[in-house]
Amino acid sequence: MNKTLQQLFSLKGKTALVTGGAGYLGTAMSETFAELGANLVIASRDRAKCEKKCEELVCQSGGSIKAIGLELDLLKKESAAELFTKIHKHFPAIDILVNNAWAGNKNSWESITDKDWEYDVDISLNSVFRITKAAFEDLKTTRGVILNVGSLYSHLAPDYRMYDGKEFANPPSYGAAKAGVIQFTKYLASFLSPHGIRVNAVSPGAFPHPPTQKHTAFMERLSAKNPLNRIGQPDDIKGAVALLCSDAGCYITGQDVHVDGGWGVW
């Protein structure tokens, strides 16, 4: 029997782990899963923030989903394994892993140091390996889905003419690490396919945080870089997440979906 679109997009009975799921784009991703009926684990270094977001989502669902907030420090190698020990106290296994968490500093080529580079690569790329490795047994059991978050700058270089000094500069470490995430996505899509695990990426850009949006001149330069002539807003990411993490995308794997207003076509 053919499934309806509503059935294909439904995530009822599934459990999704979203790292950084209470952040700017992470919140939109967590909302997507809750709206599609999935249970949630939201994890980051700020456990209280994760717990608050979970309470909000459970309330908005009318209590139809379960959501828990947990602590996760991606810079600590043991933290990923510890996270799954905690998860299994609430859920037998996860069905969906979203590697979204990120934290970094602004740097220009002139200002970046070895320490900055190593930090950014560790948080943006090495952490994706650690969490995915820790989630592997769960995802084998559930024949699950992995969604990695790349970036516009994982496949394009920043236009130096847009940046004046360090304030809004995108560091070279960020794009290099995110490009690694895209290749890792393709590797996993190949080598995890025998276990029925689909692996894709979504590359957003540009989605500046609210404080940055107050700088009108910079926002105008960003908006003018893509055919839609605007920056991205959190809701703009939800459709791609829903497609790639549900049965609506069951024949899609190894792909990097660009949610960038068409930036890459110019």
- Catalytic center residues: 174
Strand, coil or helix: what is 181?
helix
Angle at which helices 238-245 and 24-35 cross, to 10°: 50
Residue with tokens 């690569």: 121
Side-chain half-sphere exposure of 92, counting CA atoms within 13 A: 5
Question: Residue 23 and residue 34: Cα distance in Å, rounded?
Answer: 15
Looking only at Cα atoms, what is the longest distance across the chain? 60
- Neighbouring residues of 31: CB distance < 8 A, sequence distance ≥ 6: 57, 238
Question: Residue 128 and residue 147: Cα distance in Å, rounded?
Answer: 10
Question: Residue 163 and residue 184: Cα distance in Å, rounded?
Answer: 29
**Position 225, amino acid:** K
Question: Residue 96 and residue 221: Cα distance in Å, rounded?
Answer: 36
Question: Residue 234 and residue 105: Cα distance in Å, rounded?
Answer: 21
**Position 209, amino acid:** H
Give 165: exposed, middle or buried? Use CB within 10 Å, 0-12, 13-18, 19+. exposed
Q: Give the bridge partners for 201, in sequence order.
A: 148, 256
